[in-house]
Amino acid sequence: MANIHIYKGTVTAGGTNGTQVSEGTETEPIIIGPLNATNNEESSPVKLAIRCAAGYVTSGNVTITPAGTSAAKWALAPDSAGSAGVFGAYGAALTIASAIGDTNTIFWAKAKATSDEPNPVNDTSVNLAVAAVIAAA
């Protein structure tokens, strides 16, 4: 699926900006920084974008799923007018029902550290797996 990618950094809805963090069907780890495991701390939401390469568009749903050893500690949310939306359950996938073209569709990610973890630093990064049907626009 080299024709769809996830971006981080300065991303704007409808833009083509950001730093690409994906290769194939999985991203490089999305890193948020250390969490304090003593009080079930949640990270601040991280703004991300997904878009197809020029000349491609998705058909049907696009599913983004946290993957890897700390995947259960991550939650994803759709964008809501430029601010973090309502987050889904931790470890659950985010489904985007609208077509994704060659401009940014924004979504958000956050992590949670719990007090019973021996090493909460493991919760500070995650890979995101993308499942989509992509065709020429």
The pLDDT assigned to 24 comes to 55
Work out the average pLDDT over 51-61: 92
Q: Is the pLDDT of residue 36 over 60?
A: no
Work out the average pLDDT over 90-105: 92
Phi, psi (rounded to 5 degrees) for 124: -90, 0
51-55, 83-87, 113-117, 128-132: which is most confident:
51-55
- Cβ distance 94 to 77 under 8 Å? yes
Q: Is the pLDDT of residue 84 over 50?
A: yes
Distance CA(25)–CA(37), nearest Å, equals 31
23 vs 96, more confident: 96
Sign of CA dihedral 100, 123, 113, 35: negative
The pLDDT assigned to 118 comes to 59
Q: Is the pLDDT of residue 1 over 50?
A: no
26 vs 31, more confident: 31
pTM of the predicted protein model = 0.84
Distance CA(80)–CA(92), nearest Å, equals 19
Q: Which residues contact 116 (CB under 8 A, 6 or more apart)?
A: none
Look at residue 123 and give its three-state secondary structure. helix
